[in-house]
Structure 1
Amino acid sequence: MTLKLVLGNKNYSSWSLRPWIAMRQIGLEFDEEVIPLYEQGSRERVLRYSPTGKVPVLIDGDSTIWESLAILDHLADRFPAAQLWPADPKARAHARAVSAEMHAGFAALRKHCPMNMRRVGKPRDLTADVVADVRRIDDIWTGCRERFGQGGPFLFGRFSAADAMYAPVVSRFSSYAIGVGAASEAYMAAMMALSAWEEWRRDGVAEPWIMPGNELD
């Protein structure tokens, strides 16, 4: 049964990156449809697939799943051998907690530093709220690596749903030259070394669409 993932612009759509990189990383075959956001007719096109009019959306047979975290949970259930959540109960609980925190939080960082894969290493003055978000994320990454990262270079050793949830933050920290601690720097390097990451970045940079609100000085 063919999976289909409906996405927004790869250069800008942070929510779309999350399930896409997870699906690529665990080796799933799937079709994808990229719908450029905030253009005439964009919402109507997305509404063909999603009741919210937002991306991403996973079509799995007669099932439609929207929201990035829900898609990752669905994939973990459908493909248990991929171990998208850590097998150890303590690590799994921690991974779910930090993923939910990412899903619900860090509004200041999201607003002030929108995802833009074309922007590379160009700093921006950060507000106090953004600095607080950065410090919390740095603490999360460092703590995960110290407690659960012995089995590999990712937050819980091997690649997991938590890494997919934080992938857009890795992009933001890189794009806006945001400094973090040594453990977080190493984690970011591991994420950006993934072939899936490079594929997404390459596709995003090549897109013709421009969203002025995400092109900041």
Structure 2
Amino acid sequence: MITLYHRSDCPFCWKVRIALVELGINYQLIDTVLGEKHPEVIKYNPKGSVPVFVDGPTVIWESNTILEYLEDVYGPEKLYPGSPARRAQQRLLVSYSDTVVGPALRDQVFEKRSKPKAEWDWDVIHKSEEAWRNCLAQLEQWLGDKPYFSDKFSVAECALLPR
């Protein structure tokens, strides 16, 4: 059985969980806590971070690599449907989620998570909100009037939904 070590507040973990559900794969979920190093996570991942995915002897600790493994082993053309050009576009959307959308929200999340409201830096929060609005505008432009970024649910939705 597949085991996934995760944190409930981690969008990278949610990306993998969404893919597992979409592919109809049963898995065991092991919760970890922010700031605490889970011994199994440390055993499997030299970085000590989640997600950590274990499928028998196969151990993977990077979310995008986990998604590619799931596609290769459990779901040909389910997460990355379409032509090579279409699949490349989906990979770009995953990268955009990780490198642009996530960071747009990160400063605000960290500011609000780490301090009482009276100590929040509102400049940081407002800049983050503006960056988030810009991301939404770009995503809306790419999505247009389609229900999905590809012809059907894909890795792009797995990456963007947790954001």
> Does the aligned pair in 1 maintain the 2:52–2:62 contact within 8 Å?
yes
Tell me, what secondary structure is at the counterpart of 1:47? helix
What is the CA distance between 1:85 and its match in structure 2? 0.8
Unaligned residue ranges in structure 2 (runs of 5+)? 114-121
Which residue number in structure 2 is paired with residue 74 of structure 1? Answer: 69
> CA 1:38 to 1:129, structure 2 compared with 1: closer, same or farther past 3 Å?
closer
| 2:20 equivalent to 1:23 | yes
In structure 2, distance between residues paired with 1:60 and 1:44: 18
Q: Distance in 2 between matches of 1:97 and 1:64?
A: 25
Instruction: Return the alpha-carbon distance in structure 2 between the equivalents of residues 168 and 68 of structure 1.
Output: 13
Aligned to 2:119: none
Q: How does 1:42-191 map to 2 (within 5 A)?
A: 42-81=37-76, 83-105=78-100, 106-113=102-109, 126-140=125-139, 142-146=140-144, 149=146, 153-169=147-163
Aligned-partner SS, 2:28: strand
In structure 2, the CA distance between the partners of 1:95 and 1:143, relative to structure 1 (3 Å rule), is farther
User: C-alpha distance in 1, partners of 2:106/2:19?
Assistant: 21
Residues 1:35 and 2:29 are matched in the alignment: no
Q: CA deviation at 1:64?
A: 0.8
Structure 2 Cα separation of the partners of residues 83 and 144 of structure 1: 21
Judging changes above 3 Å, is the alpha-carbon distance between structure 1 residues 135 and 108 closer, same or farther for their aligned structure 2 residues?
closer
* Structure 1 counterpart of 2:10, from 13, 27, 30: 13
Say whether the 8 Å CA contact 2:81–2:150 is kept in structure 1. Answer: yes
Among the aligned pairs, what percent are the same residue? 25
How many residues matched? 151
Contact 1:19 1:72 in 2 (8 A): yes
Residues 21 and 165 (structure 1 numbering): CA distance in 2 closer, same or farther, change over 3 Å? same
Question: TM-score, normalised on structure 1?
Answer: 0.61
Q: Distance in 1 between matches of 2:103 and 2:76?
A: 34
Q: Tell me, what secondary structure is at the counterpart of 1:113?
A: helix
SS in 1 for 2:60: strand
Aligned counterparts of 1:51 and 1:164: Cα–Cα separation in 2: 25
| 2:78 aligned partner, one-letter code | Q
CA distance in 1, matches of 2:77, 2:155: 10
Could you say what secondary structure the match of 1:48 adopts?
A: helix
1:43 positional shift: 4.5
The AA in structure 1 aligned to 2:109 is C
The answer on whether the counterparts of 1:7 and 1:35 sit within 8 Å (CA) in structure 2 is yes
Structure 1 residue 33: Cα displacement: 1.0
* CA RMSD of superposed structures (Å): 2.4
Offset of residue 56 of structure 1? 0.3
Could you list the runs of 4 or more consecutive aligned residues of structure 1 that deviate by over 4 angstroms after TM superposition? none
How far apart are the structure 1 equivalents of 2:23 and 2:137? Answer: 26
